[in-house]
Structure formats: structure tokens, C-alpha cells
Chains A and B, each alone.
Chain A
């Protein structure tokens, strides 16, 4: 199969922060020897280089559809990247410490595009529900994320470039509904989603009465 390898190499070496990096021992195919390689995880691609200074990866393990497990192996701190299918290969890798192994297993098991898309859809739905009406209470238990079949994905909005956390820059896409003015911090002590409507009504009512009082006094002056 043809593959745009130059683009792959670019993705491997671009200067965006990687999702995980480090030395791992990789068992070379049918031969029993382990080779020490510099690994770079970016997105759903696990690249491996001769060393950190290499300009091009030796290879890449495309991680989509894999499972990651601990294994019994002669090597310490070993784990495996497994794929489904009859003649699918299992990659046995070994880290240099317990902590490194755990870090890799964690990073690799959540590296799929599919998983990321699931999380994004979940957040998108939460946000849409919040904007559509009253804030529904956020679920108290983590909802199980079931693997879904890819039907026809329906995306309602084109996503603009991401502003920084602190700026509220103009967005080229469809405008979200205007937000109510910022509440001052004299909020009810509890998180908003747990406060009863009656309490919220009373609290907002007090604020409105205070503002109205100010305005009336302002009007009274010449």
C-alpha cells in the first residue's frame, strides 16, 4: 500500500509537544533480540528512532485499534501492544523503570483517534445541552463510554481556531447565544448545579433589588 511517508516523517519530527517520549526496548520481529530505540508518541502514531537526535524515524506503529497489556516476559517492565486479527503482530516493548512502563501503558491505551473523537462528542453534547436551556446537572458518576460504530457523523458547527484560555477572541463560525452578564462572586456557597431554584431565585432577586435601588437613587439626583 502506498503511504505518504514524507508527511508521516513530518508529523514525527514536527515541533509540537509529543504525547510521550522515552527509550524503550523493542523486540525485533521473529528474532529474540531487543533493540533500544527512542520512542515518540504523537496522536495515534508511535514513532521510533535510533536515538533522540535522529532526523527520521526508523519506523512507526499505527496504534488505531490496538489494545495495551502487561505481559510476562524475560525483560523487566515489559508490556505489549496487540492488534485483533488472525495474523496480526504483537509488539512487545520494555521500559526502563516501573514508572516509565506505567506511563507508557496509560498513554498508549488512550491514544486512538476513535477514543478522542468519543470524548469530543461527549463534551460537544454537554455544551450544546447547556447552551440550549437550563443547565442540566452534570452526571455524578462517570458515564461509561461505549465504543460506537461509525455511522454518519453529524457535526453541527465548524470549529474555529482555538483561542487561548484567557482570551475571548472573535469567532468566524456560527455565533453562540449571548451569555448573561458575569455574576459577581457573591454566589451561593455551593456549586451552581446543586442549588435549588428557590435559592437561586432569592439570590438573584436580592441582586436585582440592590441594582434597582442604585438606579433609582441615580435617577433622583439632578
Chain B
């Protein structure tokens, strides 16, 4: 699949939601733990060799599952192959929880659900649609019907 790699590289240089050096193991059997700089930007998780400016790779975080893995680590896998896991090792339980929380929120689909939820709550409380004032109440992507059944 073709994609605009330059723009993805540019995105990896944007201010990150979370960034840290973590141990990382690829999904292939027998892969070893490597130290990587891991950076969360928008709905992408970039990973770099610790001394390099360009990422080795990126993971789009849509339809993914974040799982706590012993000890003080987590894994990311994707709906179409849930057992194929990218594993990460943190240096503390706290750091691990921070990353898990951040990653679970780092998808467009999660944000969309949040928006629909808050919009609905505010509408129930005030009788007004908060998106009207922002001029986006008719956007298809913000309707309840846009959520997966």
C-alpha cells in the first residue's frame, strides 16, 4: 500500500503526547528486547533507535488492543491478528499505567466516541447542542450513527 512517508516522518517530529526509552520486542517469534525511543503522536506510535532522528517504524493505533503484560510492561496487538503482539517493557508500574492509559485514548475512533458521549451529556443537561456554537453540528463524523454498531 502506498503512503506518504515524508508526511509520516514529519509527524514523528511533532510534539509528543508521550515519549520515553522503553524495551521493545517485535511480534515475530524469538525476537529480542531492544532499547527504543518510543513516541506517541496523534494516533501513531513511532519507535526510533535511541541515537537516531528518523523513526525505524510506526504503528497506526486504530482497532488495537493494549494489554498489561507482566512484569511492568504492556503489549499492543491488532484486531485482525490479536495474538501478534508488539511488546514493551517499562521501568516502573507507574510508567506502565501512564502509557497504557495514553495509548487507549490515542485513536481517532476513541476520540470520536468521546465526542459523541460529551455532546450527548451536554445536550441532556442543557437542552443545547454544544457543536452548534462551533458550527459543526451537521458533520457526519460527529453523529451517533457514525459509531460502529
Contact = CB atoms under 8 A, between A and B. Distances in A.
Co-complex (A, B): yes
Interface of A: 1-11, 14-17, 19-20, 42-45, 56-62, 64-66, 83-85, 87-89, 107, 110-114, 116-117, 119-120, 122-124, 126-127, 130, 135, 138-143, 145, 149-153, 155, 158-159, 161-162, 164-165, 191-193
Nearest to A44: B108
B78 A62 contact: no
B108 A122 contact: no
B8 A62 contact: yes
- Chain A interface, >50% SS class: loop
Contact of B17 (A58, A89, A124, A150): A150
A64 B11 contact: yes
Nearest to B106: A113
Contacts of A113: 42-43, 108, 111
Q: Lowest 3 CB-CB distances: which A-B pairs, in order?
A: A59-B2, A2-B57, A43-B108
B112 interface: yes
B4 interface: yes
B15 A150 contact: yes
A84 B115 CA distance: 28
A116 B41 CA distance: 14
B1 A65 contact: no
A107 B120 CA distance: 22
Nearest to B98: A152
Interface in B15-64: 15-17, 41-43, 54-60, 62-64
A107 B147 CA distance: 17
A17 B93 CA distance: 38
Contact of B101 (A16, A110, A158, A193): A158
A2 B60 CA distance: 11
